[in-house]
């Protein structure tokens, strides 16, 4: 039995991102006594799925059939008012218990109420549009080894991937039903029931795909506007919690920018003085610092404030040297700097000729002004005025000049 259990432990180790925790698990593998304790906990603890659903007739059956491969002890699905064939599809799955709740626009509250239908020690919470990408494994083994190693409250998060996006979220997806619950109207946070503090979250490489990020799903459930309004409410309810600002969508940020509120809000959660500073000592270090830095630097680049963006990037790369967003932003600013420098030189050098008499230029050069127009087209290309550049190029008849254009723009 121990040998089989060890094999299962070896399967989950590569899924844990924290190297310190991985090393601790490798150490307990050397102790038969601790291994037996871990196996005993595995045999007596329970893990069950709790899912909230509404009008997901096309997805819910596949989501549940996939989840069934992860060694769960129960499957509870709570319908919140479906008007399609969702419930009918659920009742066809003999391993699923279907319950019912009236929907309230409060995701944390609804998750907690749904969990009351479960008697399990641990809960796997999946959205009704989330499908596992990771190959099937025994999730209870993962819970058991972490329970023995950590000896304090924890939750396990998954990589939540989205349709047509290189980014992924890390929502908590496994938690202790007895000691933890969700707080928040949306993008809810797991907190300890006694201390009311956020629970330690263990990063894993377990992957799920959120099919609700597909355009038709976003439109169907009006997600953008609903989530935006709920996050704004959370900012009012917990004004000192950076989580709600960190999860603002681009659409919500644009609304705040228009009202002149965004920079003040983000600086409040990023800097000790509540004002922009390039000093690393003035930066507030917390769970959401990296996310807020990414959003603020993106905001500065959008408004072409490259000096401030560069200053913050230096701080960001010191704290998070492997962060791809910061590396991307740095490259992006360097490219824009090269473009700006090129535009400056082009405008300076071409000004004299642009203002000259075109006929005189033609008479002294034995050619028309197409070559200068080519440079002007490239200048517009650098400035992002692609339609203007294309119009100029279509009016050039010289094949040699068009060859230069194709070379510059990799059209060959």
pLDDT mean for each 10 residues of the chain (412 residues):
90 96 94 93 97 94 92 96 95 96 97 98 95 95 96 94 86 96 97 96 95 62 85 97 95 92 95 93 95 94 91 94 91 83 72 71 70 81 82 86 80 54
pTM listed for this prediction: 0.83
DSSP summary character for residue 368: -
Dihedral, CA atoms, 198, 218, 210, 109, nearest 10 degrees? Answer: 30
pLDDT in tens, 285-299: 999 999 999 999 999
Reference 170, options 116, 117, 210, 224; nearest CA is 210
250 phi, psi to nearest 5 deg: -60, -40
> Which residue do the tokens 């000259």 mark?
356
Count of Cβ atoms closer than 10 Å to residue 120 Cβ: 20
Asked whether 263 and 299 are in contact (CB, 8 A), the reply is yes
Asked whether 104 and 79 are in contact (CB, 8 A), the reply is no
Residue 351: per-residue pLDDT: 72
Strands 130-132 and 189-192: unpaired
Asked whether 328 and 167 are in contact (CB, 8 A), the reply is no
Asked whether 378 and 386 are in contact (CB, 8 A), the reply is no
Q: Which two tokens stand for residue 283?
A: 């930066």
Count of Cβ atoms closer than 10 Å to residue 151 Cβ: 8
> Residue 341 contacts by C-beta under 8 Å, 6 or more apart in sequence?
none
């Amino acid at each position: 039995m121990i040998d089989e259990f060890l094999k299962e432990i070896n399967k989950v180790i590569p899924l844990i991102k924290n190297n310190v925790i991985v090393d601790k698990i490798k150490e307990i593998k050397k102790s038969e006594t601790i291994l037996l304790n871990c196996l005993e906990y595995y045999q007596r603890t329970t893990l069950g799925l709790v899912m909230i659903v509404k009008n997901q007739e096309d997805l819910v059956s596949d989501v549940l059939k996939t989840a069934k491969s992860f060694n769960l002890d129960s499957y509870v699905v709570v319908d919140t008012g479906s008007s399609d064939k969702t419930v009918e599809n659920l009742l066809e799955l003999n391993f699923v218990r279907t319950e019912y709740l009236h929907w309230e626009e409060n995701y944390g509250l609804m998750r907690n109420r749904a969990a009351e239908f479960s008697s399990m020690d641990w809960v796997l919470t999946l959205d009704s549009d989330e499908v596992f990408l990771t190959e099937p494994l025994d999730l209870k083994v993962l819970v058991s080894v972490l329970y023995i190693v950590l000896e304090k409250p924890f939750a396990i998060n998954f990589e939540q991937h989205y349709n047509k996006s290189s980014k992924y979220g890390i929502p908590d997806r496994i938690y202790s039903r007895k000691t933890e619950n969700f707080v928040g109207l949306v993008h809810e946070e797991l907190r300890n029931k006694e201390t009311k503090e956020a629970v330690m979250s263990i990063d894993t490489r377990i992957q799920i795909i959120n099919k609700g990020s597909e355009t038709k799903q976003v439109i169907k459930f009006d997600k953008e506007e609903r989530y935006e309004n709920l996050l704004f409410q959370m900012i009012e309810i917990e004004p000192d919690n950076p989580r709600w600002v960190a999860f603002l969508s681009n659409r919500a940020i644009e609304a705040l920018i228009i009202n002149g509120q965004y920079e003040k809000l983000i600086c409040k959660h990023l800097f000790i003085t509540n004002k922009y500073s390039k000093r690393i000592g003035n930066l507030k270090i917390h769970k959401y610092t990296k996310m807020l830095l990414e959003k603020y630097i993106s905001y500065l680049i959008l408004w072409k404030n490259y000096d401030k963006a560069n200053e913050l990037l230096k701080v960001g790369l010191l704290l998070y040297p492997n962060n791809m967003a910061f590396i991307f932003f740095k490259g992006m600013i360097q490219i824009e700097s090269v473009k700006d420098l090129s535009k400056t030189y082009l405008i300076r050098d071409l000004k004299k000729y642009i203002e000259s008499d075109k006929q005189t230029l033609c008479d002294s050069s034995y050619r028309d002004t197409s070559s200068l127009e080519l440079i002007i087209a490239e200048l517009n290309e650098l400035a992002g005025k692609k339609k203007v550049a294309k119009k100029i190029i279509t009016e050039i008849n010289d094949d040699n000049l068009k060859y230069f254009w194709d070379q510059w723009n990799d059209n060959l």
